[in-house]
Amino acid sequence: MGHIKKLTNKYKDMSPVAKTSIALIIARFFQKGLAMITGPIFTRIMPSSEYGIIATFTTWQSVLMIIATLNMSSGVFNNGMHEFKKDRNSFVFSILTLANTCTAICCVLYLIFKPWLDPIINMPPYLMMLMGVYFFTVPAYNYFLGRKRFEYKYIPILIITIAVSLISSLSAILLVLFADESQKAVAKLTGSELTFILFGIVFYIITVIRGKGKLNFKYWKYALIINLPLVPHYLSMYVLAGSDKIMISNMIGTSATAIYNVAYTVAAVLLVFWEAIDASYAPWIYQKMDDEDYPALHKRAKSILLLFAGFAMFLTLFAPEIIRILGPEEYYEGIYIIPSVVSGVFFTAVFSLYIRIEVYLKKSVSIMIGSVVAAGINLLLNWIAIPIFGYLAAGYTTLICYILLAFFHALNLKRLGYSKVYNNKVIAALSFALCAIIIACLITYQFPILRYSLIAALLVVAIIKRKFIITMIKGKKKVKQQ
């Protein structure tokens, strides 16, 4: 009981930012964990052809969501929450109507060009209709949770995310069990998508009531100016993250893609961890930029990256065990991809810190240019390297592009006169040191004793520096080395 009380007191002593980060990490890992648990269930209760429809649907949904809703919850939303503190209800309602207008335009265009688009998208009419309804309602769900994040109201985030994940998974399993063999994909997607749609409708009604139907076109203009250039950025990031798998399938074969994809699961865990931290720290970054408290920004960025680096190293050293859990022996060679993809995720964290400042400064065009160019370079490097070096090259080509993106955004902040926000030399030294250490971990995969010794050493350092680590997590103003 004493230990529980001690942990409770430590949690109470944390800053709202840290509490929100922890809540988001728990929520996201619960989502991902549930997906990993239910994945094998679905593969066993439905034919592979039906499961393939789900994969295709999910891919198209991810891409079309960016276009049909402008993906404003990931971009201009935080700016609006920060800039229009006294009129947040009207702002949220206004951008929701803007997202709906974009969705309506996309639906009309789809209906006009349906004969040409259907062979490309290759989805049954019912699923396209389901996707359209999802695009209309889910922005309200995203904005509701986005506002809770911005206001550090982490309990509703945790409850809603866990509830939606559980209900969507359970309803999908039940519907698949009772569906005909040829309708199992439709049943699964109906269960999972309908849950988000129903919750979206609830939050849609709340948004309309709070906004009192007060549509302000000033917010439309504001959102379009900032977010339209970010649409190519989001699409380019999707290309950066997913084109390697498509190119490996076409150039080598689907078995190589399967190995690469399993290895990428490890990096996905790290990415979830980063996305939760990034989302919760956005309001704090905006406040510090207002106050021009650049030393605090750099100190926190360094602390976050150090913690993230430790987690990345730990995950990389445990790669052989993780791969053995995720797949049979033929997937084991995927361990040699993990250091490059983990390093790539770390550089994703680095350039995300710069992008957050650029979004605050409303410099969307420069963000777009960097992402589009990086995606183009990635496609070119994959086209050259994969046929020569095999699928292992894809992890390194993506890593190179992420390094270029971090360098580009650092230079861009300097060009804008904000080089003092972060100490680029310190961040660069930390990033490349970690990159070198993680890639050097490849050697330890052949020497288990050495690898376990390094894991033990990392744990000892974490224990020795536990007070320093806890202080960084709590988000206190003074961070002292022991």
Q: Same structural domain for residues 243 and 213?
A: no
Q: Is residue 1 in a domain?
A: no
Q: Are the C-beta atoms of 33 and 162 separated by less than 8 Å?
A: no
DSSP 80: H
**The domain containing residue 305 runs over which residues?**
230-482
pLDDT in tens, 51-87: 778 877 887 898 899 999 999 988 889 899 989 988 9
Q: Same structural domain for residues 160 and 185?
A: yes
Rounded to an integer, what distance in angstroms lies between the CA atom of residue 160 and that of residue 149? 12
Q: Are the C-beta atoms of 95 and 219 separated by less than 8 Å?
A: yes
Q: Is residue 26 in a domain?
A: yes
Q: Are the C-beta atoms of 179 and 189 separated by less than 8 Å?
A: no
Rounded to an integer, what distance in angstroms lies between the CA atom of residue 73 and that of residue 140? 9
In the predicted model, what is the mean pLDDT of the chain? 85
Rounded to an integer, what distance in angstroms lies between the CA atom of residue 279 and that of residue 290? 18
Reduce the DSSP state of residue 327 to 3 states and report it.
coil
Query: How crowded is the C-beta side of 249, counted as CA atoms within 13 Å?
Result: 8
Q: Same structural domain for residues 221 and 286?
A: no
- 163: pLDDT strictly greater than 80: yes
Reduce the DSSP state of residue 15 to 3 states and report it.
coil
Q: Are the C-beta atoms of 17 and 281 separated by less than 8 Å?
A: yes
Helix axes 217-227, 76-83, angle to 10 degrees: 130
Task: Mark which of 228, 254, 285 sits at the end of a domain.
Answer: 228
Percent of the chain at pLDDT > 90 equals: 39
Tell me the mean pLDDT in the region 307-312.
85
Q: Is residue 4 in a domain?
A: no
Q: Is residue 151 in a domain?
A: yes
Q: Same structural domain for residues 177 and 246?
A: no
Tell me the mean pLDDT in the region 399-423.
92
Q: Same structural domain for residues 259 and 334?
A: yes
Give the pLDDT band of residue 4 (cuts 50, 70, 90): low
pLDDT in tens, 319-332: 888 777 766 677 77
**Which two three-digit tokens encode residue 376?**
């183009």
Rounded to an integer, what distance in angstroms lies between the CA atom of residue 189 and that of residue 179? 12
Q: Is residue 5 in a domain?
A: no
Q: Is residue 119 in a domain?
A: yes
Any idea of the CA torsion for 211, 212, 218, 223, to the nearest 10 degrees? 30
Give the pLDDT band of residue 252 (cuts 50, 70, 90): confident
Q: Which H or E element spans position 312?
A: helix 294-317
Give the pLDDT band of residue 403 (cuts 50, 70, 90): very high
- 308: pLDDT strictly greater than 50: yes
Query: In the prediction, which pLDDT does 399 show?
Result: 92
Task: Mark which of 191, 206, 228 sits at the end of a domain.
Answer: 228
Q: At 391, give phi and psi (nearest 5°).
A: -70, -20
Q: Are the C-beta atoms of 174 and 46 separated by less than 8 Å?
A: no
pLDDT in tens, 127-137: 999 999 999 99
Q: Same structural domain for residues 133 and 236?
A: no
- Residue 297 burial (CB < 10 Å; 0-12/13-18/19+)? buried
Rounded to an integer, what distance in angstroms lies between the CA atom of residue 381 and that of residue 395? 11
Q: Same structural domain for residues 308 and 416?
A: yes
Q: Same structural domain for residues 411 and 312?
A: yes
Rounded to an integer, what distance in angstroms lies between the CA atom of residue 130 and that of residue 189? 9
Query: In the prediction, which pLDDT does 482 show?
Result: 33
- 469: pLDDT strictly greater than 70: no
- 480: pLDDT strictly greater than 60: no
Q: Is residue 262 in a domain?
A: yes
User: Radius of gyration (Cα) for the chain, nearest Å?
Assistant: 23
The 8 Å CB, 24+ separation contacts for 27-34 are: 27/157, 27/158, 27/161, 27/162, 27/276, 28/161, 28/272, 28/273, 28/275, 28/276, 29/269, 29/272, 29/273, 30/161, 30/162, 30/165, 31/161, 31/165, 32/268, 32/269, 32/272, 34/165, 34/166, 34/169
Q: Are the C-beta atoms of 339 and 317 separated by less than 8 Å?
A: no
Rounded to an integer, what distance in angstroms lies between the CA atom of residue 5 and that of residue 159? 23
Query: In the prediction, which pLDDT does 198 show?
Result: 96
Query: In the prediction, which pLDDT does 75 show?
Result: 81
Q: Same structural domain for residues 91 and 19?
A: yes
- How many other C-beta atoms lie within 10 A of the C-beta of residue 235? 18
pLDDT in tens, 179-209: 887 888 899 999 999 999 999 999 999 999 9
- How many other C-beta atoms lie within 10 A of the C-beta of residue 372? 16
Q: Same structural domain for residues 166 and 241?
A: no
Beta strands in 201-309 (DSSP E): none
Task: Mark which of 205, 228, 251 sits at the end of a domain.
Answer: 228
Q: Are the C-beta atoms of 80 and 221 separated by less than 8 Å?
A: no
Integer CA distances (angstroms), 452 to 319, 322, 342, 352, in order: 12, 14, 19, 32
**Residue carrying structure tokens 């990345």:** 312
Q: Is residue 2 in a domain?
A: no
Helix axes 184-211, 88-112, angle to 10 degrees: 140
Q: Same structural domain for residues 171 and 181?
A: yes
Give the pLDDT band of residue 93 (cuts 50, 70, 90): very high
- 436: pLDDT strictly greater than 50: yes
Q: In the chain, how many domains are there?
A: 2
Q: Same structural domain for residues 48 and 105?
A: yes
